[in-house]
Amino acid sequence: MSTATATHDDHHDHGPAKGLMRWVTTTNHKDIGTLYLLLALVNFFIGGAMAMVIRAELFQPGMQIVDPQFFNSMTTVHALVMIFGAVMPAFTGLANWLIPMMIGAPDMALPRLNNFSFWILPFAFTLLLSTFFMNGGGPAAGWTIYPPLVLQMGDGFPFMIFAIHLAGISSIMGSINVVVTILNMRAPGMTLMKMPLFVWTWLITAYLLIATMPVLAGAVTMLLTDKFAATSFFSAAGGGDPVMYQHIFWFFGHPEVYILILPAFGVVSAIVPTFARKPLFGYSSMVYATASIAFLSFIVWAHHMFTVGMPVVGELFFMYATMMIAVPTGVKVFNWVSTMWKGSMTFETPMLFAIGFIIMFTIGGFSGLMLAIAPSDFQYHDTYFVVAHFHYVLVTGAIYSIMAATYYWLPKWTGNMYDEKLGKMHFWLSTVSVNVLFFPQHFLGLAGMPRRIPDYAVQFADWNMISSIGGFVFGVSQLLFAYVVIKTIRGGEKATDQVWEGAHGLEWTLPSPPPYHTFTEAPQVK
Amino acid sequence: MRKLRKLAGLASAFLGASASTAQASYGLLNMREGVTETSQSVYDLHMTIFLVCCAIGVVVFGAMLYSIVNHRKSKGAVAAQFHESTTMEILWTIVPIVILVSMAIPATSTLLAMEDSSDADMTIKVTGIQWKWKYDYVDGDGAGVSILSSLHPKLNEARQLGANADLSQFDDHYLLDVDNPLVIPTGKKVRFLITAADVIHSWWVPDLGWKKDAIPGFVNESWTKVDQPGVYRGQCAELCGKDHGFMPIVVIAKAPEDYAKWVAEQHGAAAAEAASADREWGKDELIAKGQQVYTTNCASCHQPTGQGLPGAFPALAGSAIATGDPAAHINTVLNGKPGTAMAAYGALLSDADIAAVISYERNSWGNDAGVVQPAAIKAAR
C-alpha cells in the first residue's frame, strides 16, 4: 500500500471528504451506519411525539385534544414511523457499523448500493408525513392498512403506498448487501460457525427481508390498483376477497416481527457474555434457535387473524404452529440466563438494558403465548392486551436492545466513554416508566377496552391515566438518551481499544475510534 | 406477575376511589368470566395459561435474580468458563414441548365447541355499518324484525362536547349504550350470521366470550346461549374509520315470555312504520323527524352544521345534490356512494325516515329546496 500513487494514498489514508457532500456521496460503511442511526433517532422522536398525542388524548375519557380521525392517523403513522423508520433503520445502521468490523471486512460488499438504500429513506418518510397536509389527512386505517377501510383514504393514499414501496426497496437493497457481505467478505478463518451471533442473526434477518418485502410490495400495489385502476383484488363486490389482503399482509407481517427482534437477540448475545465475563452458554444452539424461529415465522401468519372466520382446522394449525415458537425462544432465554449463571457480572448501562430486555421481552413472550391460544384470543384480539403484548416485545424488546447496543458500541465508534451515571439514570427512568406505561394496558385489554379507540368508557379511566403518566415520563426520559449520545459524540473520557474488560471479537482489536477505513488487510481468525 | 397484579390492585385502590362503583361492576384487572358456558371455558383456559406462564416466570426470573445477586464481580465472583451442555439443551427443549402439549389439549376442545354452531334455536343476522349495527331476525317468532342500533343520542351529544362533557352522569355506560339494543331470549342457542356493508368491523361482547369479524361480502358464523337475563355490553373491535370508538353493542337477554312480548311490540311498530309511508306528511313534521335521523346517522361525517369535513366528507350546505334535483339526492341516500363511507341507507332506514332526513337536509343551513314525501322514496326503491 505504501508504494501506491498519491491519489491512491489520498483514498486510503486521508479521512473523509469535508462538509455536507461527505454524507451525501459517502460509500463508507461507518458513515452510512451513522446516517441510518441518526435517521432512526429522528424518527424515534417523531413517532414518539405521536405516541404522546395518543396518550394525552387517552389521559381522560371524553374527547379533549384531537378529533377521532386525526387520532386514528396518529396510531397509524406512529406505528409506521416506529417500525419502518426507527427500529428497522436502527438495526440496519448497527449492521453497517458492525458487520464489516465483526467479520474483518474493509467495508460492505456493495458500497454504492449502500448509499442508495440509505438515501431513499428520508424521501420515503417525507412522503409519508406529507400526507398530513393533504386533503383527507394522513393514513388512518391502522399500520396494517386493511382494505376496504384504507381505500376510503383521501388524496394522501398513493403517497402513503409509494412511501411504503420506497422503504421496502431500501430494505431489500440493504439486505442484499448484508447477505453478500457476510457470505463473501469474511476474514480468512472466520467460518460461518465462528461468526458473532449479531452477524448470524442479521444474516437470517436479511433473508427474511428479501423473502417478505416483495410480498408487502405486492399487497400494497394491489391496493393501489383497486383504488385507481378499477381492479377488485380485495373487493367482494367485484369478486375479490378482503380477507385475502390480510393473509398476504401477515405473510409479510409475521416474519417482519422477527425482522424486528432477531438482530436484538444478536445484540443481547454479544452483551451478556461481555459483562458476565463468560462465554455464551450454547453458541450453536443459539444459531439453530434463530434459524428455527425464522422458519416458523413463515407458517404462523394467520394467528393475527383468528377472528376472521377461518375453518377450524386452519385455526388449529396456526395455533399449534404459533405455540411451537415458544420452544426456540425459550432456548434463547435459557441460554442467556445460563450465560449469566456463575459469571462475574458487572452492571454497566449496556448490561442493564440487556437484562431489562431479557426480563421484559420474556413477559411479552408470555402474553404472546397466551395470544396464541385461539379460544382465548377471541377475547384478547384487538384489545389493549395486544397493545401491551407488542409494546413489551418491541419497546422493551427491540428498542431496549438498540439502546443497549448504542451504549455498548458508542465508545468504540466515537472513542469517548459515555457518561455512566446518566446512562444508568436513563435506564432506570425508562424501565420504571415503561412498565407504568404498558403493564396496566394488560388490565385494560382484559377488562374489555378495544385498541385504536380515541375515547373510552369511564371504568377504564384510572388505568389509562396511569398508563399516560408512564408514557409522558418515558417520552421525556428519551431526551436524556439523546443528550447522552450527543455528549459522547462531542467528547468525554477517552475509551480504550478494548473498551470492556470482557469483550471479545474483531471490532475490539481496532482503535477507538476506528480509522475511516479498517481491515484493509484482512485479519487472521484462528 | 401475580405479585405485580396485587401491587397494581393496591395502586388502583388508592387512585380509583372516585370511580369505585364503576370499577366494581367491570372487573378491572382480569378477563371477565362472562355469562355463557363458552365465556367460562375461555376464562378458565386464560387463567390456566396465565398461571403456567407465572410459574415459568418464577423459575426463570428466580434463577436470573439469584445469579444477579450472587454472581457479581463486586462480590468477588470469579467467572466459571463452562458452556455447551447437550443434556441441558435437550431438557429445556423437551420440557417446554410437554408444557405446550398440555396447554394445547384444553385449547383444542374449547375451540371445537366454540366453532360448532349447529342445532341453533334461532338465527340473527348482524351487519356492521359505519358506525352502527343492524340486526335482522331471520327465523322464529321474531322473523322480519329489524333493528338499527347506534350510539345512544345522549352519549353521542356528550362525546362531542370535548372537555366540557360531564361523563359522571353516565356511570359506566359512557359510550356503551345504544338507542335500540339487540334482544335475545335466555336459554336458547342463538346463531349469529355476521357480515358488513362497507368496511370490516368486529362484533364483540366480552360477556359472551368471543368476537367475530364482520366482513363485507362474507358471512361469518358464531353462537351464544345466555341463561341469565341481563344487559351485556360490548363494542366494535376492528378499526373501521373515524367513529370506530363510537359503535357500541348492547345485548339484552330476556326470559322467553318477556322476549315474546318484545317481539310482538316490534312487529306492531314495524307495521305502523310501513303505514306511515303511505300518507302525506307535513313539512314541519318531516323536518322535525329528519333532524333526529340526521343527528343519529349523518352528523358525525357531514357535521351538525352541514359543513362536512373538508377533504374527507362533503358539505351538504349549499351542495349541488342537497339543493338540486331531488331524484339525485334520493338516489345518493338510498344507494350510498361505493368506495366512501356513505352507506346505502335504503337498506337501513324506513321510507319515512329517508324522506324526513332528505327534507331536513334540503331545508337547513341556508338550503331551500322543498320537501320529499315518503311515497317518493317508496317509488324510487
What ipTM is given for this predicted complex?
0.90
Q: What is the reported pLDDT for A328?
A: 95
Question: What strands, in cross-sheet order, belong to the sheet with B248-254?
Answer: B182-185, B248-254, B230-235
* Cβ-based neighbour number of residue B266 at 10 Å: 19
- Tens digit of pLDDT for each residue in A404-432? 999 999 999 999 999 999 999 999 999 99
Please provide the average confidence, as pLDDT, over all residues in chain A: 94
Cβ(A268)–Cβ(A357) below 8 Å: yes
Chain A residues inside the 8 Å CB shell of B100: 323-324, 326-327
- Between helix A283-296 and helix A242-259 the angle, nearest 10°, is 170
DSSP assignment, residue A513?
Answer: S
Do the Cβ atoms of A448 and B243 come within 8 Å?
Answer: no
The answer on pLDDT for A37 being more than 80 is yes
Cβ(A465)–Cβ(A59) below 8 Å: yes
**Nearest one of A281, A9, A377 to B49, comparing CA atoms:** A377
Task: Write down how long chain B is.
Answer: 381
Q: State residue B193 phi and psi, 5-degree precision.
A: -105, 115
Could you give the percent of chain A with pLDDT greater than 70?
A: 97
Could you give the percent of chain A with pLDDT greater than 90?
A: 92
CATH number of B122-274: 2.60.40.420
Q: What would the DSSP string read from start to end of B97-113?
A: HHHHHHHHHHHHHHHHH
What span, in angstroms and rounded, lies between the C-alpha atoms of A419 and A423? 6
Contacts of A10 (CB under 8 A, 6+ apart): none
What span, in angstroms and rounded, lies between the C-alpha atoms of A453 and B244? 7
Write the secondary structure of A363-425 as one string of H (helix), E (strand) and C (coil).
HHHHHHHHHHCHHHHHHHCCEHHHHHHHHHHHHHHHHHHHHHHHHHHHHHHHCECCCHHHHHH
Do the Cβ atoms of A282 and B77 come within 8 Å?
Answer: no
What span, in angstroms and rounded, lies between the C-alpha atoms of B122 and A457? 31
Do the Cβ atoms of B28 and A459 come within 8 Å?
Answer: yes
Nearest by CB: A61 against B174, B198, B235: B174
**Nearest one of B359, B311, B310 to B333, comparing CA atoms:** B359
Q: What is the reported pLDDT for A66?
A: 93
What span, in angstroms and rounded, lies between the C-alpha atoms of A246 and A308? 9
Q: What is the reported pLDDT for B379?
A: 85
What span, in angstroms and rounded, lies between the C-alpha atoms of A331 and A241? 39
Asked about A78 being catalytic, the answer comes back as yes
The answer on pLDDT for A175 being more than 60 is yes
Cβ(A495)–Cβ(A512) below 8 Å: yes
Question: At A478, is the pLDDT very low, low, confident or very high (cuts 50, 70, 90)?
Answer: very high
Task: Determine which helix (DSSP H) or strand (DSSP E) holds B182, and give its type and residue range.
Answer: strand B182-185
Q: State residue B134 phi and psi, 5-degree precision.
A: -120, 135
Grid cell locating A457 = 368508557
Contacts of B336 (CB under 8 A, 6+ apart): B342, B343, B344, B345
C-alpha distances (whole Å) from B313 to each of A32, A69, A109, B337 are 44, 11, 51, 12
- Structural class in CATH, domain B279-380: mainly alpha
Give me the amino acid identity at B259.
Y
**Nearest one of A50, A47, A38, A151 to A92, comparing CA atoms:** A38
Exposure on the CB side of residue A53, measured as CA atoms within 13 A = 19
Alpha carbon A26 to chain centroid distance? 24
Contacts of A161 (CB under 8 A, 6+ apart): A220, A221, A223, A224
What span, in angstroms and rounded, lies between the C-alpha atoms of A10 and B310? 59
C-alpha distances (whole Å) from A86 to each of A78, A360, A482 are 10, 20, 14
What span, in angstroms and rounded, lies between the C-alpha atoms of B72 and B244? 52
> Average pLDDT in the A370-387 region?
96
Task: Determine which helix (DSSP H) or strand (DSSP E) holds B216, and give its type and residue range.
Answer: none
DSSP-based three-state secondary structure for B34: coil
Q: What is the reported pLDDT for B27?
A: 52
Question: Which range has the worst mean pLDDT, A13-17, A48-52, A166-170?
Answer: A13-17
Task: Determine which helix (DSSP H) or strand (DSSP E) holds B126, and give its type and residue range.
Answer: strand B122-129
C-alpha distances (whole Å) from B250 to each of A375, B177, B196, B233, B326 are 22, 6, 18, 5, 36
Nearest chain B residue to A238 by CA distance is B217
Asked about A207 being catalytic, the answer comes back as no
Spell out the domains of chain A, with CATH numbers in brackets: 28-509 (1.20.210.10)
DSSP assignment, residue A153?
Answer: -
> Average pLDDT in the A160-169 region?
96
Q: What is the reported pLDDT for A13?
A: 52
- pLDDT of chain B, 381 residues: tens digit per residue: 444 444 444 444 444 433 333 333 445 789 999 999 999 999 999 999 999 999 999 999 999 999 999 999 999 888 888 888 889 889 999 999 999 999 999 999 999 999 998 899 999 999 999 999 999 999 988 888 999 999 998 888 888 777 777 777 887 788 999 999 999 999 999 999 999 999 999 999 999 999 999 999 999 999 999 999 999 999 999 999 999 999 999 999 999 999 999 999 999 888 888 787 778 888 888 888 888 889 888 888 888 888 888 777 888 988 888 888 888 899 899 988 877 778 888 888 888 889 999 999 999 898 888 888 888 888 888
Grid cell locating B352 = 319515512
**Nearest one of B337, B332, B325, B370 to B354, comparing CA atoms:** B332
Nearest chain B residue to A341 by CA distance is B67
Q: Which residues pair with B132 in a beta bridge?
A: B129
Q: What is the reported pLDDT for B215?
A: 96
- Between helix A197-228 and helix A262-276 the angle, nearest 10°, is 160
- Give me the residue label for grid cell 469517548: A416
> Mutate which of B2, B7, B100 to test chain A, going by most A C-beta atoms within 10 A?
B100
Q: From the CA of B73, how many Å to the nearest CA of chain A? A: 5
Asked about A256 being catalytic, the answer comes back as yes
Query: Could you state, in order of their start, the residue ranges of all structural domains in chain B?
Result: 31-114, 122-274, 279-380
* A153-186 burial: b if 16+ Cβ within 10 Å, else e: bbebbebbbbbbbbbbbbbbbbbbbbbebbeebb
CATH number of B31-114: 1.10.287.90
What span, in angstroms and rounded, lies between the C-alpha atoms of B304 and A195? 65
What span, in angstroms and rounded, lies between the C-alpha atoms of B221 and B212? 8
> Average pLDDT in the A269-294 region?
95
Contacts of B156 (CB under 8 A, 6+ apart): B150, B246, B295, B296, B300
* B133-161 burial: b if 16+ Cβ within 10 Å, else e: bbbbbeebbbeebbbbbbbbeebbebbbe
Question: At A5, is the pLDDT very low, low, confident or very high (cuts 50, 70, 90)?
Answer: very low
Do the Cβ atoms of A149 and B1 come within 8 Å?
Answer: no
Asked about A12 being catalytic, the answer comes back as no
DSSP-based three-state secondary structure for B137: strand
Grid cell locating B360 = 331536513
Asked about A117 being catalytic, the answer comes back as no
DSSP-based three-state secondary structure for A154: coil
Grid cell locating A203 = 444474516
Whether residue A148 has a cis bond before it, omega within 30° of 0: yes
Q: What is the reported pLDDT for A14?
A: 59
Nearest by CB: A455 against B81, B112, B245: B245
DSSP assignment, residue A84?
Answer: I
* Cβ-based neighbour number of residue B370 at 10 Å: 11
Cβ(A331)–Cβ(B92) below 8 Å: yes
Nearest by CB: A342 against B80, B159, B312: B80
Q: What would the DSSP string read from start to end of A302-356?
A: GGGGGGG---HHHHHHHHHHHHHTHHHHHHHHHHHHHHHTT--B---HHHHHHHH
Question: What strands, in cross-sheet order, belong to the sheet with B122-129?
Answer: B146-149, B132-137, B122-129, B190-196, B220-224
Q: What is the reported pLDDT for A9?
A: 45
Chain B residues inside the 8 Å CB shell of A320: 104
Q: What is the reported pLDDT for B18?
A: 38
Pairing of strands B182-185, B248-254: parallel
A15 vs A208 pLDDT, higher one: A208
> Average pLDDT in the A378-399 region?
96
The answer on pLDDT for A26 being more than 80 is yes
> Average pLDDT in the A352-381 region?
96
Cβ(A93)–Cβ(A161) below 8 Å: no
Q: What is the reported pLDDT for B340?
A: 78
Name the active-site residue from A329, A430, A467, A512.
A329
Asked about A170 being catalytic, the answer comes back as yes
What span, in angstroms and rounded, lies between the C-alpha atoms of B194 and B103? 30
Asked about A186 being catalytic, the answer comes back as no
The answer on pLDDT for A308 being more than 90 is yes
What span, in angstroms and rounded, lies between the C-alpha atoms of A342 and A352? 18
Chain B residues inside the 8 Å CB shell of A454: 245
Q: Which residues pair with B211 in a beta bridge?
A: B204
DSSP-based three-state secondary structure for B130: coil
Whether residue A513 has a cis bond before it, omega within 30° of 0: yes
